[in-house]
Amino acid sequence: MVLLGSQAGAQTQADVDAARDELAEAEAAVARALELHTTLDTGLATAIAEADAVQDRLLALSSDIVDLELEIRDLEQSYTAGRAHARDRLMLAYELALEADGGAALYSGVTILDGLISSAIITRSADDLSYDPSQLSIDREWVESRRLVLDSSQDEIRRLSAVAESQAAALGVLAVGAQQQLAQARVARVGAEEAHSEAVAEYEALKSSASPSVARWLPLLEKYFAPDQLPEALWVMTCESRGNPDAVNQSSQATGLFQFLPSTWAYSSVAAGFGGYPATHPEANVASAAWLLEHSILIEHRLGPWGPWECNPRLS
């Protein structure tokens, strides 16, 4: 009957271990999904901001070219008005000169004074031009160069805008997928938590059903074994000695709660800090078993952590 109970304990321990591993994997999956979701959210926000910045730049350049076109239009109107005004003044000067002496001063230079006066009238009329034609040509060339820059910039901005919009769309799809992955991972974690809780509850029930001869050593087991090692430690001790610290195998002389062979006890008890104690000493036996378990893990015992024992939960 004890052997059947031990097999049930081993199965319960295996369930606890499997549930714990599944829970750890579920938590890791949630962490990975959350990290991916955060990364994609950040990338999406950056892509949207870049697309907005590109659009703002395009609008600014478009506004610049509108201002330049208005400026050149005003310059052309000013130049046209200036030329008309100059023609009117020159015509007036010509008429005045003719009225003065029949135009002789303009062409024959009868008197130096009359010639200077007529020249001054024409020069002053030319000075009345409200805008320099050469400057208008320079301004027109500058505006045209700016228009070429604008056209090139607009092409580049349209390209960048298309790239940014494409990236934002792709990131949006990925973000939705990441959100779904995160939701699925959280659901899986909840399921793993429930499975782990059920496995632990089964183990607690196993402890509760342990015979008094076994249950009385639980405080020692919890003192020396790691929490995740307790179920298997309880199973091994139950299988090896049924909780009897004075148990001795007449064939092998294995002794104590964890049935140490004399040769194994000789070094394990010393390593555990209980050198000189008999194998029948409960605490010395449990502490030595905990050390031997860790040693088997360290050296990767070919039969697993519980390889030194006849009752090996990993082989049952």
Distance CA 219, CA 242 (A): 16
Q: Which residue has the tokens 């509760």?
A: 208
Residue 99 has what pLDDT? 64
Residue 43 has what pLDDT? 65
Q: From residue 115, give the alpha-carbon distance in Å to each of 42, 93, 124.
A: 83, 13, 14
Q: Looking at the structure, do residues 199 and 223 belong to the same domain, yes or no?
A: no
Residue count of the chain: 316
Contacts of 32 (CB under 8 A, 6+ apart): 185
What's the pLDDT tens digit per position in 144-195? 776 677 677 667 767 766 776 776 677 667 667 767 777 787 787 787 778 7
Q: Looking at the structure, do residues 246 and 160 belong to the same domain, yes or no?
A: no
Task: Please indicate, yes or no, if residue 314 is contained in any of the structural domains.
Answer: no
Task: Please indicate, yes or no, if residue 309 is contained in any of the structural domains.
Answer: no
pLDDT above 50 (res 205): yes
Among 137, 171, 204, where does a domain finish?
204
What's the pLDDT tens digit per position in 68-77? 667 667 666 7
Residue 5 has what pLDDT? 42
Number of domains in the chain: 2
Angle in degrees, CA 262, 9, 210, rounded to 5: 85
Distance CA 125, CA 95 (A): 13
Task: Please indicate, yes or no, if residue 2 is contained in any of the structural domains.
Answer: no
**Across 22-31, 46-55, 136-145, 304-313, which has the greatest mean pLDDT?**
304-313
* Burial bucket for residue 238 (CB in 10 Å: 0-12, 13-18, 19+): buried
Task: Please indicate, yes or no, if residue 16 is contained in any of the structural domains.
Answer: no
Distance CA 92, CA 94 (A): 5
Q: From residue 270, give the alpha-carbon distance in Å to each of 37, 115, 277, 296.
A: 53, 134, 9, 16
Residue 130 has what pLDDT? 46
Domain extent, residue 237, equals 212-299
Residue 96 CA neighbour count, 13 Å, CB half: 14
* Burial bucket for residue 270 (CB in 10 Å: 0-12, 13-18, 19+): middle
Q: Looking at the structure, do residues 95 and 148 belong to the same domain, yes or no?
A: yes
Q: From residue 288, give the alpha-carbon distance in Å to each of 148, 233, 238.
A: 87, 12, 16
Q: Looking at the structure, do residues 129 and 223 belong to the same domain, yes or no?
A: no
Domain CATH number, residue 231 = 1.10.530.10
Q: Looking at the structure, do residues 195 and 216 belong to the same domain, yes or no?
A: no
Q: Looking at the structure, do residues 145 and 229 belong to the same domain, yes or no?
A: no
User: Among 259, 251, 301, 308, which residue's Cα sits nearest to residue 279?
Assistant: 259
What's the pLDDT tens digit per position in 77-132? 766 666 676 666 667 766 666 665 555 544 454 444 444 445 554 455 445 444 45
Cβ atoms of 290 and 309 closer than 8 Å = no
Q: Looking at the structure, do residues 90 and 160 belong to the same domain, yes or no?
A: yes
Task: Please indicate, yes or no, if residue 91 is contained in any of the structural domains.
Answer: yes
Contacts of 315 (CB under 8 A, 6+ apart): 303, 304
Q: Looking at the structure, do residues 145 and 248 belong to the same domain, yes or no?
A: no
Q: Looking at the structure, do residues 185 and 54 belong to the same domain, yes or no?
A: yes
Q: Looking at the structure, do residues 200 and 241 belong to the same domain, yes or no?
A: no
Distance CA 243, CA 219 (A): 13
Task: Please indicate, yes or no, if residue 173 is contained in any of the structural domains.
Answer: yes
Distance CA 2, CA 269 (A): 27
Task: Please indicate, yes or no, if residue 175 is contained in any of the structural domains.
Answer: yes
Distance CA 69, CA 57 (A): 19
Among 204, 220, 250, where does a domain finish?
204
Contacts of 56 (CB under 8 A, 6+ apart): none
Q: Looking at the structure, do residues 262 and 292 belong to the same domain, yes or no?
A: yes
Domain CATH number, residue 110 = 1.10.287.950
Q: Which range (95-109, 169-183, 208-222, 228-242) has the least confidence? A: 95-109
* Burial bucket for residue 148 (CB in 10 Å: 0-12, 13-18, 19+): exposed
Q: Which range (161-175, 181-195, 240-254, 284-298) has the least confidence? A: 161-175
pLDDT above 50 (res 2): no
Beta bridge partners of 255: 248, 260
Q: Looking at the structure, do residues 142 and 26 belong to the same domain, yes or no?
A: yes
The more confidently predicted of residues 105 and 296 is 296
**What totals of helices (H) and strands (E) does the chain contain, helices first?**
9, 0
